[in-house]
Amino acid sequence: MSVMSSVLFLAQVQPVPSPAPAKIDPPALDAVWPILIVLAAACVGVLFEAFLPRHQRWPAQVALSLLALAGAGVALATYLSDAPEAGEMAMFNTLAVDRPALFLWGTLLALSVGAVLLIADRSVEPGGAFVATAAIRPGTVQDRAQVTATGMQTEVFPLTLFALGGMMIFCAANDLLTMFIALEVLSLPLYLMCGLARRRRLLSQEAAVKYFLLGAFASAFFLYGVALLYGYAGSVRLADISAAAAGTDRSDTLLFAGMGLLVVGLLFKASVGPFHTWTPDVYQGAPTPVTAFMAACTKVAAFGGILRVLQVAFESTQWEWRGVLWGVAIASMVIGAILGLTQTDVKRMIAYSSVAHAGFLLIGAIALTDRGLSGTLFYLLTYGFTTLAAFGVISLVRDSSGEATHLSQWAGLAKRSPLVAGVFTFLLLALAGIPLTSGFVGKFVVFEAAIDDGMAPLVVIALVASAVAAFFYLRVIVLMYFSEPAADGPTVTVPGAFTTAAITLGVLVTLLLGILPSFALDWAAGGAFAIR
Amino acid sequence: MTGTFNLALDTQPAAGAASAAWLLLVLPALGAAVLLIGGRRTNKWGHLLGSGMVIAAFAYAVVLFFDTTSLAAEDRLRDLHLFDWISVNQLSVDFGLRLDPLSITFVLLITGVGSLIHIYSIGYLNHELEDRRRFFAYLNLFIAAMLLLVLGNSFVTLYFGWEGVGLASYLLIGWYQGKDFAATAAKKAFLMNRVGDVGLALAIFLMFKTMGSTQYDVVFSQIGDQSTGTIVAIGLLLLLGACGKSGQFPLQAWLPDAMAGPTPVSALIHAATMVTAGVYLIARSSPLYSLPQAEDARLVVMIIGAITLLLGCVIGCAYDDFKKVLAYSTVSQIGYMILAVGLGPAGYAFGILHLLTHGFFKAGLFLGAGSVMHAMNDEGDIRRMGGLWKKMPVTFVTWTLGYLALIGFPFLSGYFSKDEIINAALGQGGTRGWVFGGIALLGAALTAFYMTRLLILVWLGKPRWENLTSPATPDPESPEAPVGKPYHPHESPSTMTIPMIILAFGSVAGGAILSAVLPEWLTPAIGEVEETHGALSHTMVGILTVVLAAIGAGLAFLLFGRRETAVERPKRVSFPVRAARADLFGNHLNEALFARPGTWLTRALVYVDNRGVDGLVNGIAAGLGGSSGRLRRTQTGFVRSYALSMLGGSILVIAALLMVRFA
Amino acid sequence: MTPTYYLLLSALLFTIGAVGVLVRRNAIVVFMCVELMLNAVNLSLVTFARLNGDLHGQVMGFFVMVVAAAEVVVGLAIILSIFRTRRTASVDDSNLLKY
């Protein structure tokens, strides 16, 4: 490899004096047990795939995944009970385990429980939403046989856990290299999971290719940003970058070009417009449980990273970059709200809604205050659960060829299944930010923080955008309640325990956080990022 | 004035009744939940449950009213703290109810009129038994949201209700979804309301920023310390919210279109309660608007009210649709209320007074209209009516009483409230007094004119429907309306007539009673009525109002009462011109003085209303939809074009960052 | 030779890679262009390591290489599966999901 040789070349020309070997103490693991448990379970899951007979894998994997999530949750709760208020550094200063990180971990674990339940479900689609053997070519005889086969590619469980582990590292990463590795650890499993749908495999594979190519493209941007910032600050530690930016004798070109590239990579993962282009295609093509996992958890992790980078590394230069991110937030809200208006596929519609929501979240993220931080964290929590449950509901409406996601097929759904229509209506109202749902409280705290930080014009635009976006949610509600159902319309599958549990979880949290948000807001406001 | 005391600590036996005020919200909400979740199983008894819940809420409201009157005047402001809703950092929002004369007045109106309209709907929807329970579920939902709006003790709680009623109204306007115009009307209502909502939301955020709270007691005790700019800004933003919800200029166009919904909805939501939320908002914020610094904001409130009241009257003269005329009448009467509350301490009480009396007679008029349409194959065109008084005596009598109350017939309810508003407007003194008083007087005359036209065309004269059948095109009111069927008008069932009779009593007697007690009753909530002395004495104003109304009514009789009305709307010459020619032939003076300028003005306003405002709204909607459709095409499905947009975005971001830094 | 030239070369390689992603149709080539971008970054990292006089940049280069290798595994699996289905690796043919 050319890079390798250039490394050697440089090393030969002038060997860098190597520092005296320092004594390395074994790291304290108290703070990172949740991550270790998740990643260890993922590895065990891989072993299960290798050694267990096929028919035992599904129960073993489901049990393992849920146990791992529960174990990680317990570890998190145990640590939380006597965690230092200001946060601590773990794993040789690569992870900052502070209050926001812990909040995000908790959110991610809770959301993953819902996502794993959706992924594990075998009642809605016999055998599960995932392909029996991914290697079978779509359109062949074997492929038609696998549609009705009962097995599924159970590798999806360890993949989910790996992705989750990556996300948890991502939002706690204290330096950009760790962040980059975590970014890849969370992305690579997701690329694969997108391509594993049992039905409509062409769409699914296409989604995987698109997500992969664009994701790799975006990581390259991210990485180049890391390199430039390293050149600027001589370190990739966030605190060092912040300290370097506070000084004045360095090249600001490197700083701002690096920051721009870095932020673009992050915005891509968070599907903020105009870096959102993959979102609708991938959300539509991916198996719905995976879409739910991506929409909820990736958004949380990506915004966790954005918050940390902006608040820790670039706080001192905020007057330079703030205006630019204003523009990005506006673009995202406008794109999401306007393009959502004419969507005819319900999964795509939710995808555009997620683009608009990303814009709202970005408003909170660029309000570099305690309120901005806690508001954004809370918003992530509410949005994650609402969107998780929404995709859960979407997976229930089916016809003979699989999920019926075209909006015209949803007409008159309330007549067929008042309960499902009612639940979906509630979730849409939450996405629209109607009071007494968590969506309202989330928007409220974020916009309030933004006004407080002097961003009133942005909030005006956000209010207008959310008004426009509310229109397409209401369109679906009207369609479900007031239109006559088509004669050959889809049926609503009665979900099994897993999907029911996941949807119930999402709906209950959405309702609870709408009526009694205080406890979650208190957690979110528990403390700021640790800067070391 | 804004002292509160905690009910939880109150050991008086009276507190027992008031501390259960959350029942007011829970009862209708429970009804809605049961009906929506129960689905078809509740078809048989759903309407009874729905009505029962609202009647129960009304009964509790009456108890609460007497509980409050038993207190001394200074103890009548009470907060019922329910729970801490949002509390994080310095941001804290409590969820609580404010029980004071103002909110209790509204609660009585909402549950009282609401109960009557629930009962009426049982009869009205007996053609659509399948969907009836859903209708009652939405009505209950509306009542719950509206009660939350008036009972909340902070602007955020008010905003809750505000969104909730908007949602319920949207669902109910779109009830007849099969029809395009119903969908369009619902869309328009939604868009225009959102404009107002944005104003209200911004006002709330501004309060948070400057005062750190939106609890009424905190805001109103601190508002005086804020800068004039802040006060005026909050005042104007609240007004924008009020304009959206109450159909005030320039956001009035959705209200007449909302008549696409079923008539009980028009009566309850778009006449008696929801559309008056703007008036409530401004009256509730009276401590803000009463400040001397808020003088400019108040002036704008008055101007908006005056413009709207005139606009509504004039356009009301032009329509041939029964409900549309009443809708414009509503727009104009709410204009009166907004004008009144814009007058400040001199007018708050009278604005509320007019709101209450209007609630009675306008609900009655709408229910009457619904009764007529119910009997006439859901026909709404008044040119196809006439002479109905013989067929529907009960509806006729109750409707006529409502009509007399509206035009300000002496000693009926509208007389008292309108007269007080005009007097207070004139009492502003100087040019301002003359302008606003004059507009209010002119409005009274015009109201009498168009309402008399309605009376004549619908009830009096020859029956024009006898040789007609329903038009071949389905009617706005119901897509299932029989097409091409002869008319057989008949009196409505008693579930419909009894509410109308009760409302008619209210229209007759309500004004006299309320005008005597209301100002004093409301004093703890909105302050004492400021005595004003205008250029004319109060008695003179009363006489002048009645005389002008009589002139308006007389003119209508001259124009419409003495000749046949064509069934078809004249194509080329507009209707008043033709009428004037046919009737008063040769009387060019008359025509030049009244008919022609009136026609032109009416025409111009209708044009502006249809093309201008509607055009703007529809244009925005179409623009958004069109740009959405076009932008959608940029999502080509090609990975490479996505990569291009990402690269382009990155270059823009980096270039912008560097430019900000180095430029 | 000034290290700055290496930075310029790195930027040039990165740009070539980015443009390649935009103009090439074959998914494998597109992917190789992304790899080129990553390697361009590696060059930058190593140059900066020398400029800064520490080893961090070189170590990061190794990390990037490992990540790139993992990415290749996943990427080739995905591209191969779609190639087997469609008998073409052109990214322009994957065009069912749009608007």
CB contact under 8 A, A236 and C38: no
Residue ranges of domains in chain B: 5-553
SS3 category, A75: helix
The pTM of the full predicted model, rounded to 2 decimals, is 0.85
Main-chain dihedrals φ then ψ at residue A287, nearest 5 degrees: -60, 140
Half-sphere exposure at residue B485, Cβ-oriented, CA atoms within 13 angstroms: 14
Question: Does residue C57 surpass a pLDDT of 80?
Answer: yes
A chain contacts of residue B627, beta-carbon cutoff 8 Å: 338
Cβ atoms A509, A438 nearer than 8 A: yes
Taking the Cβ of residue C20 and every Cβ of chain A, the question of whether any pair is shorter than 8 Å is answered with no
Residue B632's closest chain C neighbor by CA? C99
- Dist CA A229 CA A3 (whole Å): 20
Q: Mean per-residue pLDDT for A225-248?
A: 91
- Dist CA B480 CA B130 (whole Å): 13
- Dist CA A159 CA B530 (whole Å): 74
Main-chain dihedrals φ then ψ at residue B48, nearest 5 degrees: -70, -40
List Cα–Cα distances, B433 to B171, B302, B343, in angstroms: 42, 11, 10
SS3 category, A188: helix
B chain contacts of residue A277, beta-carbon cutoff 8 Å: 635, 641-642, 645-646
The set of long-range contacts for B494-498, using a CB threshold of 8 Å and a minimum separation of 24, is B494/B123, B495/B119, B495/B120, B495/B122, B495/B123, B496/B120, B496/B123, B496/B124, B496/B367, B496/B370, B496/B371, B496/B374, B497/B371, B497/B394, B497/B395, B497/B398, B498/B119
Residue C30's closest chain B neighbor by CA? B640
Q: Is B185 exposed, middle or buried (0-12, 13-18, 19+ CB in 10 A)?
A: buried
Maximal C-alpha separation, chain B: 85
Residue B516's pLDDT band (boundaries 50, 70, 90)? confident
Following DSSP, what letter does each residue of B568-587 receive, concatenated? SPPSSS-HHHHHHHHHSTT-
Which range among A404-408, B106-110, B377-381 shows the weakest confidence by mean pLDDT?
B377-381
Instruction: Please report the ipTM that was assigned to this predicted complex.
Output: 0.97
- Dist CA B248 CA B241 (whole Å): 10
pLDDT of residue A250: 76
Question: Does residue A10 surpass a pLDDT of 70?
Answer: no
Question: Does residue A460 surpass a pLDDT of 70?
Answer: yes
CB contact under 8 A, A177 and C63: yes
Question: Does residue B603 surpass a pLDDT of 70?
Answer: no
With left for phi above 0 and alpha for psi between -120 and 50, is residue A27 left, alpha or beta?
Answer: beta
Alpha helices per DSSP H over A173-270: 176-194, 201-233, 238-246, 252-269
pLDDT of residue B315: 82
SS3 category, B28: helix
Maximal C-alpha separation, chain A: 78
CA distance B621 to chain A (A): 9
A chain contacts of residue B234, beta-carbon cutoff 8 Å: none
Q: Is B648 exposed, middle or buried (0-12, 13-18, 19+ CB in 10 A)?
A: exposed
CB contact under 8 A, A7 and C98: no
Cβ atoms A96, A529 nearer than 8 A: yes
Residue ranges of domains in chain A: 29-524
Angle at A11 between CA A7 and CA A12, to 5 degrees: 120
* Most confident segment among A147-156, A374-383, B565-574: A374-383
Question: Does residue A126 surpass a pLDDT of 90?
Answer: no
- Dist CA A169 CA B436 (whole Å): 68
- Dist CA B163 CA A441 (whole Å): 14
CB contact under 8 A, B631 and A470: no
User: Mean pLDDT across chain A, nearest whole number?
Assistant: 89
Q: Mean per-residue pLDDT for B504-509?
A: 87
Helix (H) or strand (E) holding A88: strand A88-90
B chain contacts of residue C21, beta-carbon cutoff 8 Å: 640, 643
Of B193, B273, B286, the C-alpha closest to B241 is B193
- Dist CA C19 CA B233 (whole Å): 51
CB contact under 8 A, B629 and A213: no
Cβ atoms A475, A342 nearer than 8 A: no
- Dist CA B635 CA B548 (whole Å): 63
End-to-end CA distance of chain C: give it in Å, rounded. Answer: 51
pLDDT of residue A160: 97
Of B168, B12, B141, the C-alpha closest to B75 is B12
B chain contacts of residue C94, beta-carbon cutoff 8 Å: 637, 639
Encoding tokens for residue B209?
């920023």
CA distance A49 to chain B (A): 33
Q: Strand B78-88 vs strand B91-99: parallel, antiparallel, or unpaired?
A: antiparallel
CB contact under 8 A, B637 and C98: yes
Residue B12's pLDDT band (boundaries 50, 70, 90)? very low
CB contact under 8 A, C94 and B636: no
Residue A205's closest chain C neighbor by CA? C82
| B neighbours by CB contacts (3+ pairs under 8 Å) | A, C
C chain contacts of residue B643, beta-carbon cutoff 8 Å: 21-22
Taking the Cβ of residue A451 and every Cβ of chain B, the question of whether any pair is shorter than 8 Å is answered with yes
Q: Which residue has the higher pLDDT, B38 or A217?
A: A217
Q: Mean per-residue pLDDT for B169-192?
A: 74
Main-chain dihedrals φ then ψ at residue B553, nearest 5 degrees: -65, -40
Q: Mean per-residue pLDDT for A325-338?
A: 94
Q: Mean per-residue pLDDT for B591-620?
A: 63
CA distance A454 to chain B (A): 9
pLDDT of residue B599: 63
pLDDT of residue A375: 93
Main-chain dihedrals φ then ψ at residue B585, nearest 5 degrees: -55, 140
Residue A325's closest chain B neighbor by CA? B653
pLDDT of residue B590: 45
Question: Does residue A511 surpass a pLDDT of 80?
Answer: yes
C chain contacts of residue A265, beta-carbon cutoff 8 Å: none
Residue percentage of chain B with pLDDT more than 90: 17
Residues 20-39 (C) with a CB less than 8 A from some CB of B: 21-23, 25, 30
Which range among A141-150, A375-384, B115-124, B236-245 shows the weakest confidence by mean pLDDT?
A141-150
B109 Cβ contact partners less than 8 Å away, ≥ 6 residues apart: B272, B273, B355, B356, B359
CB contact under 8 A, A370 and B646: no
Residue B47's pLDDT band (boundaries 50, 70, 90)? confident
Find the CB nearest B640 among C22, C96, C99. Answer: C22
Q: Mean per-residue pLDDT for A323-345?
A: 92
Cβ atoms B315, B606 nearer than 8 A: yes
Cβ atoms A41, A68 nearer than 8 A: yes
Select the residue from C14, C16, C22 to test the B interface by mutation, using most B Cβ atoms within 10 A: C22
Find the CB nearest C52 among A14, A181, A234. Answer: A234
Question: Does residue B564 surpass a pLDDT of 80?
Answer: no
Q: What b/e sequence results for C68-82 when a residue is b if at least 16 CB atoms lie within 10 Å of its CB, and e otherwise?
A: beebeebbebbbebb
pLDDT of residue B596: 61
Cβ atoms B301, B382 nearer than 8 A: no
B chain contacts of residue C86, beta-carbon cutoff 8 Å: none
Alpha helices per DSSP H over A121-200: 141-148, 156-172, 176-194
Q: A357-370, pLDDT tens digit by residue?
A: 999 999 999 998 88
A chain contacts of residue B37, beta-carbon cutoff 8 Å: 418-419, 422
CA distance A1 to chain B (A): 26
SS3 category, B487: coil
Q: Is B623 exposed, middle or buried (0-12, 13-18, 19+ CB in 10 A)?
A: exposed
Q: Which amino acid is at B526?
A: I
Main-chain dihedrals φ then ψ at residue A377, nearest 5 degrees: -60, -45
pLDDT of residue B7: 30
Q: Which amino acid is at C57?
A: G
Question: Does residue B472 surpass a pLDDT of 90?
Answer: no
Question: Does residue C65 surpass a pLDDT of 80?
Answer: yes
Q: Which residue has the higher pLDDT, B535 or B402?
A: B402
Residue C23's closest chain B neighbor by CA? B640
Cβ atoms C14, C37 nearer than 8 A: yes
Of C21, C57, C54, the C-alpha closest to C42 is C57
Find the CB nearest C21 among B635, B637, B643. Answer: B643
Of A354, A284, A340, A334, the C-alpha closest to A472 is A340
Question: Does residue B580 surpass a pLDDT of 60?
Answer: no
Q: Which residue has the higher pLDDT, B373 or B480?
A: B373
Question: Does residue B4 surpass a pLDDT of 50?
Answer: no
CA distance C91 to chain B (A): 7
Length of chain C: 99
CB contact under 8 A, B639 and C91: yes
A chain contacts of residue B641, beta-carbon cutoff 8 Å: 277
- Dist CA B307 CA B328 (whole Å): 13
Q: Which residue has the higher pLDDT, A127 or A68?
A: A68
B chain contacts of residue A214, beta-carbon cutoff 8 Å: 639, 642-643, 646
pLDDT of residue B589: 44
Alpha helices per DSSP H over B85-179: 101-124, 129-151, 155-173
Residue B479's pLDDT band (boundaries 50, 70, 90)? very low
How many CB pairs below 8 A link A and C? 154
Residue ranges of domains in chain C: 3-88
Residue A178's pLDDT band (boundaries 50, 70, 90)? very high
Q: B639-651, pLDDT tens digit by residue?
A: 888 999 999 999 9
- Dist CA A86 CA A66 (whole Å): 31
- Dist CA A333 CA A461 (whole Å): 8
How many CB pairs below 8 A link B and C? 31
Q: B204-219, pLDDT tens digit by residue?
A: 988 888 888 888 888 8
Angle at C50 between CA C45 and CA C55, to 5 degrees: 75
CA distance A522 to chain C (A): 38
Main-chain dihedrals φ then ψ at residue A94, nearest 5 degrees: -85, -25
CB contact under 8 A, C34 and A213: yes
CA distance C66 to chain A (A): 10
* Most confident segment among A34-43, B296-305, C79-88: A34-43
Question: Does residue B14 surpass a pLDDT of 70?
Answer: no
B chain contacts of residue C14, beta-carbon cutoff 8 Å: none
Question: Does residue A207 surpass a pLDDT of 50?
Answer: yes
pLDDT of residue A164: 97
Q: Is the dihedral of CA A506, A511, A513, A516 positive or negative?
A: negative
Q: Which amino acid is at A189?
A: P
Taking the Cβ of residue A275 and every Cβ of chain B, the question of whether any pair is shorter than 8 Å is answered with yes
B chain contacts of residue C91, beta-carbon cutoff 8 Å: 638-640
Q: Which residue has the higher pLDDT, C72 or B566?
A: C72
CB contact under 8 A, A209 and C60: no
Taking the Cβ of residue C68 and every Cβ of chain B, the question of whether any pair is shorter than 8 Å is answered with no
B chain contacts of residue C22, beta-carbon cutoff 8 Å: 640, 643-644, 647
Question: Does residue B536 surpass a pLDDT of 80?
Answer: no
Residues 215-274 (A) with a CB less than 8 A from some CB of B: 217-218, 221, 252-253, 256-257, 259-261, 263-264, 268, 274
Strand order in the sheet with B91-99: B5-6, B78-88, B91-99
What's the CATH code, domain C3-88?
Answer: 1.10.287.3510
